[in-house]
Every structure is written in C-alpha cells, then in structure tokens.
Amino acid sequence: MEELLLAAPQSEDMREAFKGIFRIEHNYDLEAADIADGMLWGKQYDAKLSTSDCLAIAEYMYNKSEYISAAKWYRVALSHHIQFDDDIFRNIYGSQREDIRKNYIISRLKAGKADDVQLYLKELSHDPKTQLENTAKPTPSISQLGCRGLYPPRTNLSCRYNFTNTPYSRLAPLKMEIVNENPFIVLYHDILYEHEINSLTNQSITTDGWTDDAEPELEVERICKVSTVQDRKIGRRVEQMSGLNVDLDNYMQLSNYGLGGHFRNHFDYVDLKGHSIIVPLMAKYHGDRFATVLFYLSNVELGGATIFPRLNLTIWPQRGAALLWYNLDNSVEPEKLSEHAVCPVIVGSRWVLAEFIVQYKQTFKRPCYK
Ligand SMILES: O=C(O)CCC(=O)C(=O)O
Ligand SMILES: [Fe+2]
C-alpha cells in the first residue's frame, strides 16, 4: 500500500495538472466537454476524464474565479455522473448530483444575471457540448493567435544551403530556412544526429523551471524541467550556424516541457542598462545574450510552438532542427521584436536545448556596430 501511495500523484501534482489544463483550455479555446471526451484541438484521443476529474477541475476553476469555465466543467461532471433508477444508488449519489447542480447555478450566477436563473436551470439538461447562453467567446490575444497557428501565412521567404559561416561550412553546408528577414531569424534543418538527440533526451531531469510564485521578480513563468549540459561538438555546430564565437565550455540549457508546460512571453536579453544588480556580473563574464540557438530535440504531437508575437511568427518544433535569432540589434541595444514564448503543450513531451551566445566574445567577429 505504501508503495502504491508513493507512486500516486501528490496534491501538488494535481494542482500543476489543473493549472496545465487551465492554460490549454484558454490558450487553444477548447471546450470542457471536448477535453473530457479526449477530443483535443480537433483530434480524437482514446482517453476520457472521469466525473471526479471533471468535478476537481470545476472546483479549481471556481476557486480561480473562472466562473464560466467552472460552470462548463460542472455541467460535464453532471452529464458523466452515474444515473441509476435504483433507490440505493439514488440515496448514495442523489445528494452529490444536487450539490453539483447547485455549484453549477452559483457559478452561472457569479458570471451572469439573477434574472436569467431560469435559463441557467434549463441549460443544465442540455447536452454539455452546446454553448452556454449569453456567453461570448473572449477575443484571443496576439500570443493565443500564434499558439493556434492563426497568424497570416508568410510568403517571399526562402531556403538555401549555407556555405559561408565558417571554413568548415564549405565542406558541410547547412540547410537554412529564413523565417524572418528583419530581425534575422533562421531555422536550420537536420542539424543534430539521432544519437545526439537520443542521449540528450534519455536524461532524467529533476529541477523545475520557475514560476511567478517562486521568483516574482522575474515576472515570467516557465513550467518545465531544466538541466545543464556541456557538449563541445554541439558548441562547434553553433559556431557554424551563427558564424559567431562560442564558448565551447559553456553550459547549455536542456529543457523538457510536459502537459500544459509553457514559457510566457519574455526576452532572452537581460538589458544590462536596466538591471544594475546583475550588470557587474554579466559584464565581468561575457556581457548580454547576443543571440540564442534553440535545438528542437522532439516533435510535439499537439501544441508547444515557439512564437514571436511581435513578428506574427509561429515555429512548430521539428526534431533535429535548430532556430537562431538575435536578441540585440546592430547597435547592441535590446531587440524588442525578439520577444518570444513557448505555447502550452497539449499532447507530447517537448525537449529543447538552448545555447545563449554572449556579446563580448563577438568583438572581432562583429566589430562594425552602427
Ligand atoms: O523552447 C523554446 O521554444 C524557447 C525557449 C526559450 O525561450 C528560452 O529557453 O529562453
Ligand atoms: Fe527565451
């Protein structure tokens, strides 16, 4: 029994799963009834949520003051709830059904009007897949549009072989897809070997990313596991991809995002001028993060795109590809357009490896700043 309990989810695991489901529901505009049925973003999965799962989610949404969402989850819980004609079952479950109905009505009233209470009562007997009355869909944010793949399609972009970044590139040109001209963002294809990907993704990572609660001064939220790795061979490839100087002994950041894992909008630069505490440290060692190279170590079955909301750019992870972008502009000032985020993972395990290329090592490679 003790062994079973050890393997069972703890209350913290449940809370994190609820938060993940909340992010998925809102970012992708999914309906509670669909999620409960395993219908995720248009794809039917062989998985269903139980009545008690739905009830627990409804209560989580209620406590978060997300009353419309709570009402939807209560209604789904009720429709999945055991309904027996048998007296014994009615005695056991009847009162629970009444409680769910009550909570549904309270949630509806909290987000609606007392005058509409008859309407709300009627809704209770409708199929949970029907829309709730008088509830408008919220307008999606720019980031949500990106996560849903709804930015306008891009034209006039190109692919070519890159022969020129380093002398070695002549022998082994890289497959380069230009995804944005200004600021320059490129996606390199087939940049990692299978054995490299496998050895990176077979590691177990135990350290959590960070949340607003843990480090409020960061003002970002990152839900994933992180670890560091050193790999001189991959470091050399980063040099080849970027044409910049890379510290081969640098630690790269390995991250794994699970259900609902995400990284809210952020910049990779620190903006040395604005942060007096870290400036001496950053300055002593290497300066700000000039560019980022992000290796995708897995495909993601659903969700988990990298988005640049200010550029209307969505990049879907492709195992073995790597994305390169600049965080500072030509005058080494923060490039505001480099703001980016990781959309919540709906299904799958998302692995990435990031190398941050630092500013002061580029003095001779990029000497001609404006
Ligand atoms: O995983 C991604 O798509 C982006 C990761 C990222 O933004 C970071 O590590 O700073
Ligand atoms: Fe980032």
Model-level ipTM above the cut of 0.85: yes
In the sheet that holds 313-315, the strands lie side by side as: 222-223, 262-266, 340-342, 306-308, 313-315
Choose between 133 and 366: higher pLDDT: 133
Instruction: Check pocket membership of 188 for ligand 1, CB cut-off 6 A.
Output: no
Q: Quick one: average pLDDT of 47-64?
A: 93
pLDDT of residue 15: 86
Tokens matching residue 71: 């009402």
Distances (CA, A) of 334 to 18, 19, 253, 261, 269: 36, 32, 22, 27, 7
Question: What are the pLDDT digits (tens) for 146-162?
Answer: 999 999 998 877 888 88
pLDDT of residue 370: 42
Question: What are the pLDDT digits (tens) for 224-267?
Answer: 999 999 999 999 999 999 988 888 888 999 999 999 999 999 99
Tokens matching residue 243: 């044409």
pLDDT of residue 86: 66
Domains of the chain: 2-134 (1.25.40.10), 150-362 (2.60.120.620)
- Cα 134 to ligand 2 centroid, rounded to whole Å: 39
Instruction: Check pocket membership of 237 for ligand 1, CB cut-off 6 A.
Output: no
Question: What are the pLDDT digits (tens) for 296-329?
Answer: 999 999 999 999 999 999 999 999 999 999 999 8
Tokens matching residue 5: 């309990």
* Cβ atoms within 10 Å, residue 230: 11
Report the C-alpha gap between 286 and 270 in whole angstroms.
12
Instruction: Check pocket membership of 298 for ligand 1, CB cut-off 6 A.
Output: no
Closest ligand, as measured to the CA of 187: 1
Closest ligand, as measured to the CA of 267: 2
- Cα 294 to ligand 1 centroid, rounded to whole Å: 7
pLDDT of residue 205: 81
Tokens matching residue 252: 């790269």
Instruction: Check pocket membership of 293 for ligand 1, CB cut-off 6 A.
Output: no
Of the chain, the percentage scoring pLDDT greater than 90 comes to 58
Cβ partners under 8 Å of residue 43, min gap 6: 302, 347
Q: Quick one: average pLDDT of 19-28?
A: 94
